[in-house]
Structure 1
Amino acid sequence: MAEHNSYDVIIVGAGSMGMSAGYYLARRGVKTLLIDAFDPPHTQGSHHGETRLIRHAYSGDPAYIDLALRADRLWKEAEQLSGIELLVRSGVLNLADSAVYSFSGRLAEAKIRKVPVQQLDAGEIRRRWPGLNIPETFAAMYEPDAGYLYSERCITAYRQLALGQGAELLTNTSVVNITARESSVTVHTTNGDYHGASAILSAGAWFGALAPFVHLPIKAIRKVVGWFESSPAFAAGNFPGFTLGAEEGGYYGFPSIAGAGLKIGRHDTGLEWKPGTLLAPFGSEASDEQDLRRVLETYMPGAAGRLLKGSVCKYEYTPDEDFIIDRHPLHSNVLVAGGFSGHGFKFSSVVGEILADLATSGATNHNIQPFALSRFTPDHSQAGLILEGI
């Protein structure tokens, strides 16, 4: 085994989760190699497009709130260590038609976990943010301590920090196969073979390209976002990040930052995408702009100006939209982290910490039980997960 190609841990996929894990491993003195098919940050994954929301008041499993709060602390630490501004506490305004969605579960969990939230009716929403055209049936949950992350900067910061701690990064290198034994993993790439005692697979929407070594119940979906000319009422400093649930669907967005226009995307719907196929550019589907513009014209008319820019990225959905953080069904020295289902970026700092925990000590103090692969099999065994199509 060639010494210069040998590592303690090899990370396949150096996007948000992988780059973070690379830093937390290298910081612990672990000899780490990160491999990416592109040169992160890049536009071929799920981390581009300038911004991602960070919020803390989740419903569902309480693990999400605990992880979001820890992730927030780690983002601030990465910001201080790298000298790069990563997190803006703009607040996040969660809007919903009461006929479509109720905030009761999230409000209850926030109270238990002492996450600051404010419950607002339609009149209060319109008073605080006059640019909104909100019907009386709407209500909101406002998180004053939430905000947004500069997503590409986050990758850049963790890349800088990981390399500064001695991690190695192999860019523009595709993985063609992976083989694993009890105490070793070999990653076969277009630039040669690399050997590790263990591996972390964090390939995002590209997990399909790692078959047949691993099959995860993940479906990659094409998503679009647009930036629209908007009035000063929607400028950063005047308007928060937001989510919106209505009969038209589920949407999310950001204020106009430095005049770039209000950014909005749709969380639900989308076309399936397969690794290796063309990702159709923004505007290829008539609905790309129409869906976004219809919602703006209805609820945020002052942000329904001309389209300034459009972009496409990918979500990686699991059947239940909860994450996958677990060991490979057949190889205990291979970790898998994927299926972040369009709400994972904010957690990537703490997911990196979790993966470093698991790779170095075999356990983590964070609750990752909700993200076990076994939940997808009827008997809660993992054996069936290596089969195609699950």
Structure 2
Amino acid sequence: MRTRYDVIIIGAGSMGLSAGYQLASSGVRTLLLDAGNPPHEEGSHHGETRLIRHAYGGASAYVPLALRAQKLWEELERLSGETLLRTTGVLNVSREETANHRSKIANARRYGVPLEELDAADIHRRWPGFSLPEGWSGLYEPDGGVLLSEACLRVYRRLALEAGAELLTDTPVRSVRLDGGEAAVTTPAGTFASGRLIVTAGAAAAGILPGRPLPVTAIRKTVAWFRAGSGLYRSPGFPGFTVHTGLGEYYGFPDFDGSGVKVGRHDEGIPVSPGEPKHPFGRTAADEEELRAFMEAYLPGASGVLLKGKVCLYERTPDEDFIIGRLPGHPHVSVAAGFSGHGFKFASVVGEILRDLTVNGRSSLDLTPFSPERFN
């Protein structure tokens, strides 16, 4: 095995494997390192499914990224011949019309994203499985849907290796040395050198780079699958969803082939220190109780027996915006981290961005809101 590469990628999760595929397909000698054997359950990509939607509030830069990501996922699906994306539509429900709600509408109009404005009565007529108080409203994205996250990683891994990338699994990084325009990465398998370095280490990214801590906090998050008591929640027919109750932000997925309705909470969560074990689902009664209480209130017909639960890690930044860009003071190092629980849908385009930063030194997409420099 060689010890020198054009680029080394630390972290072969969703972002790392996507970047590895893009780089190797462009003829770049690429080494990927991961502490596990992806896809695995120690990061932020497991749990079978992730939502993909395009109407973002806040920074409008998210919308072009989401639209480009959609095209790349569709291309990957065609190239691989595997089902990676299910177009279910995504319904975003809110208790009140917020600034974020209005911003989503404005950004959708600006970029031509199909979006329907619905009141509670409209939602009940179309999806009677919801139970929403009068006065609540929703924004429905008919082109939104569900990505099969672990299947996406398996495809990226296969295609990256076929394109010539090398992958070392179960190989944690012990140290990184940045010297001028070079990087040296030491692992149990040896030390590897490259002229370019990419850090996509998820929740572990905070402590990877010497003297350059990234403001990323690992957060323990739970998801659960509940048995639906009727066909109202099955796909096709029932959409993916997000619900802002005023007391919490929840998201979920329809019942695919009897798998149950999957639900999680986006906000809150328990910080996890580096090296601290990620306690399994059910460690406390609150793991199920919190999610069941939401289901009983807003999707009562899908609050049956708990089928299974899982735990993953968010990698949250202080402002919950991503960190994507070249490391200040080290232009040969690119980072993509802090995806704060809403990043998987962007993995396809983030890989393309990292390829462009590595090969061309820039991306054609607006990365201003995601600059690492904003935390200096």
TM-score past 0.5 threshold: yes
In the alignment, structure 1 residue 337 sits paired with structure 2 residue 362: no
Contact 2:181/2:330 (8 A) holds in 1: no
- Percent identical among aligned pairs is 53
Query: 1:263 is aligned with what amino acid?
Result: K
Displacement of 1:206: 1.1
Match of 2:22 in 1: 24
Question: SS state of the match for residue 48, structure 1?
Answer: coil
Question: SS state of the match for residue 174, structure 2?
Answer: strand
Match of 1:254 in 2: 253
Cα distance in 2 for residues equivalent to 1:212 and 1:18: 20
Cα distance in 2 for residues equivalent to 1:325 and 1:278: 27
Q: What's the C-alpha RMSD, in Å, of the aligned pairs? A: 1.3
Match of 1:79 in 2: 77
Structure 1, residues 76-127: CA drift from partner, whole Å, max 9, x if none? 1111111121111100011111177762110111011110000001111000
Match of 1:153 in 2: 151
TM-score w.r.t. structure 1 length?
0.94
Question: SS state of the match for residue 175, structure 1?
Answer: coil
Contact 2:115/2:139 (8 A) holds in 1: yes
Contact 2:181/2:195 (8 A) holds in 1: yes
209-218 or 277-286, which deviates more? 209-218
Displacement of 1:208: 3.5
Query: 2:190 is aligned with what amino acid?
Result: G
91-100 or 216-225, which deviates more? 91-100
Output aligned runs, 1:240-319, within 5 Å: 240-319=239-318
Match of 1:172 in 2: 170
2:5 to 4, 7, 11: 7
Cα distance in 1 for residues equivalent to 2:299 and 2:99: 19
Match of 1:60 in 2: 58
Cα distance in 1 for residues equivalent to 2:77 and 2:69: 12
Cα distance in 1 for residues equivalent to 2:103 and 2:313: 28
Displacement of 1:336: 1.0
Question: SS state of the match for residue 22, structure 2?
Answer: helix
Cα distance in 1 for residues equivalent to 2:375 and 2:34: 28
15-24 or 94-103, which deviates more? 94-103
Contact 1:101/1:245 (8 A) holds in 2: no
Displacement of 1:63: 1.0
Query: In the superposition, relative to structure 1, how do residues 242 and 317 fare at CA in structure 2: closer, same or farther (>3 Å)?
Result: same
Contact 2:9/2:33 (8 A) holds in 1: yes
Structure 1, residues 27-80: CA drift from partner, whole Å, max 9, x if none? 110000000000111000000000000000001111100000000000011111
212-221 or 112-121, which deviates more? 212-221
Match of 1:162 in 2: 160
351-360 or 324-333, which deviates more? 324-333
Query: 2:180 is aligned with what amino acid?
Result: E
Displacement of 1:248: 3.2
1:215 to 210, 213, 216: 213
Question: SS state of the match for residue 19, structure 1?
Answer: helix
Contact 2:177/2:210 (8 A) holds in 1: no
Question: SS state of the match for residue 178, structure 1?
Answer: strand
Cα distance in 1 for residues equivalent to 2:323 and 2:375: 10
Match of 1:373 in 2: 372
Contact 1:82/1:160 (8 A) holds in 2: no
Query: In the superposition, relative to structure 1, how do residues 211 and 182 fare at CA in structure 2: closer, same or farther (>3 Å)?
Result: closer
Output aligned runs, 1:131-142, within 5 Å: 131-142=129-140
Question: SS state of the match for residue 340, structure 1?
Answer: coil
Cα distance in 1 for residues equivalent to 2:190 and 2:136: 57
Structure 1, residues 139-161: CA drift from partner, whole Å, max 9, x if none? 00000000010000111111111
Cα distance in 2 for residues equivalent to 1:233 and 1:57: 25
TM-score w.r.t. structure 2 length?
0.97
Cα distance in 1 for residues equivalent to 2:121 and 2:180: 62
Query: 1:181 is aligned with what amino acid?
Result: D
Question: SS state of the match for residue 276, structure 1?
Answer: coil
In the alignment, structure 1 residue 185 sits paired with structure 2 residue 183: yes
Gaps of 5+ in 2: none
1:107 to 105, 108, 116: 105
Contact 2:182/2:195 (8 A) holds in 1: yes
Displacement of 1:183: 2.5
Query: In the superposition, relative to structure 1, how do residues 346 and 334 fare at CA in structure 2: closer, same or farther (>3 Å)?
Result: same
Match of 1:382 in 2: none
1:195 to 189, 193, 196: 193
Contact 2:56/2:107 (8 A) holds in 1: yes
Cα distance in 2 for residues equivalent to 1:102 and 1:135: 20
Cα distance in 2 for residues equivalent to 1:8 and 1:302: 54
Cα distance in 2 for residues equivalent to 1:198 and 1:371: 20
Question: SS state of the match for residue 341, structure 2?
Answer: coil
Cα distance in 2 for residues equivalent to 1:36 and 1:202: 10
Gaps of 5+ in 1: 378-390
Query: In the superposition, relative to structure 1, how do residues 189 and 259 fare at CA in structure 2: closer, same or farther (>3 Å)?
Result: same
Cα distance in 2 for residues equivalent to 1:82 and 1:162: 12
Q: Runs in 1 of length 4+ with deviation above 4 angstroms? A: 99-102
Question: SS state of the match for residue 330, structure 2?
Answer: coil
Displacement of 1:374: 1.8
Question: SS state of the match for residue 2, structure 2?
Answer: helix
What is the count of residue pairs matched by the alignment? 375
